[in-house]
Amino acid sequence: MIKLSDYMDYLNEEIVQARKKADEQAVIIAKEYAKHPYLKYFRVPRFTMPSVKLSIPIKISELDSETNYEFKMDNDQFLKDVNTKIELVNKEKNLKLVPITKDVLIKKDLKEVIDKLEKDNNLIIKNPKDNILKIDLKKPVLDLIKVRTFNTTADAASVENDELEKILQESLTDRYKPISSKLNDIYFDPNTSDEKDKGKILLTLNVEMVEEGIRIHNATDEKGNVVEEIIFE
């Protein structure tokens, strides 16, 4: 991965070097003209690039950003999210998780988790899920697991516990909402010819670099000190 700023710096350096080589070649030709009996009366050819336009396809690999999140609990929406996920996982994995009701939200362990998340609000984090994964949800899960049939094995109970813990993690993560964001760096891959990238939407980096010359001039001030002056042309 390459930072966008590093890539722009690389492009600038390559173009400057290209112009430098062109100027060096112009000096060599000028000296040859000066030595020639006839060419010394002609103007020495010199080609410049007053502007360079580049259209470069790129693909974004990673965004380094800081996002300010707010945890906002909506009991009705939380119950709906959890129960929708329970219904889905029951069908997919043939489990017997029981949908939760509002009264479970006041159970001690789950309430403590929600209260802590609401208290530690307004966080600047990259991913809310990382914050949720730091919380131990095993006790709240045990609060939510209902009485099972006698046919439920220990293995099945363990699977149900794990699935319910994942459901709680996802539903709590969804309660985070971004309220502000700061983009630090953009990382991208300039190689867009991979087979796996076919059909993807790629960005085009349109860059125009306009020539501006400078000269460094040595001057002597009134005290006899030699100072450098940078003159923009």
Model pLDDT for residues 40-80, shown as the tens digit of each residue? 899 888 887 788 888 887 777 777 777 788 888 888 999 99
Dihedral sign (CA 172, 90, 98, 75): positive
Position 109 pLDDT exceeds 50: yes
The confidence score (pLDDT) of residue 200 equals 58
* Residue 68 belongs to a domain: no
> How much of the chain exceeds pLDDT 70, in percent?
87
Q: Which residue has the higher pLDDT, 100 or 152?
A: 100
Position 147 pLDDT exceeds 50: no
* Residue 67 belongs to a domain: no
* Residue 180 belongs to a domain: no
**Which whole-number Å values give the CA distances from 40 to 32, 37, 157, in the listed order?**
8, 6, 95
**Which whole-number Å values give the CA distances from 103 to 75, 108, 115, 160, 181, in the listed order?**
11, 11, 16, 20, 36
**Which whole-number Å values give the CA distances from 4 to 7, 9, 51, 113, in the listed order?**
5, 9, 21, 40
* Residue 119 belongs to a domain: yes
* Residue 139 belongs to a domain: yes
DSSP 209: E
Half-sphere exposure of 176 (CA within 13 A, CB side): 24
- Tell me the average pLDDT across 109-133: 79
- Tell me the average pLDDT across 86-95: 88
- Same structural domain, 79 and 140: yes
- Same structural domain, 9 and 79: no
Quote the CA–CA distance of 109 and 61 in Å, as a whole number.
Answer: 39
Please give the mean pLDDT across all residues of the chain.
81
Which amino acid is present at 181? S
Residue-number span of the structural domain to which 218 is assigned: 2-62+187-232
The secondary element (H helix, E strand) that includes residue 200 is: none
Number of compact structural domains in the chain: 2
Contact 60/185 with Cβ under 8 angstroms? no
- Same structural domain, 147 and 78: yes
Q: Label residue 148 by pLDDT band (50, 70, 90).
A: very low
- Same structural domain, 83 and 138: yes
The confidence score (pLDDT) of residue 62 equals 75
The confidence score (pLDDT) of residue 149 equals 44
